[in-house]
């Protein structure tokens, strides 16, 4: 997304900030923030690590339950945990 914004802006020769924001569905402040970022900040922003989810330990059990009982509600799955 950040590289797309920078490509659309093209150092002032491309679209204006307002047009980029409208086209991508972002706020103008977000577009400005991304345009001000240097390459190091972009790398840090894009290399976020994936966090562990609390239900990861129960994933296989939940998948098995839902395959056996496809109409099982989320409340009943939680109750069975």
Q: What is the pLDDT of residues 31-58, one digit of tens each?
A: 999 888 887 777 777 666 677 888 888 9
Q: Which of the four pLDDT bands, split at 50, 70 and 90, describes residue 68?
A: very high
- Residue ranges per domain, the chain? 2-46, 51-81
Global pTM reads 0.51
Reduced 3-state DSSP string for the chain: CHHHHHHHHHHHCCCCHHHHHHHHCCCHHHHHHHHHCCHHHHHHHHCCCCCCCHHHHHHHHHHHHHHHCCCCCHHHHHHHC
């Amino acid at each position: 997304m950040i590289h797309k914004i920078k490509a659309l802006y093209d150092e002032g020769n491309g679209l204006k900030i307002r047009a980029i924001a409208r086209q991508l569905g972002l706020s103008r402040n977000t577009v400005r923030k991304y345009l001000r970022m240097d390459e190091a900040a972009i790398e840090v922003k894009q290399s976020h690590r994936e966090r562990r989810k609390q239900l990861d330990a129960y994933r296989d059990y939940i998948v098995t339950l839902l395959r056996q009982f496809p109409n099982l509600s989320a409340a009943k799955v939680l109750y069975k945990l």
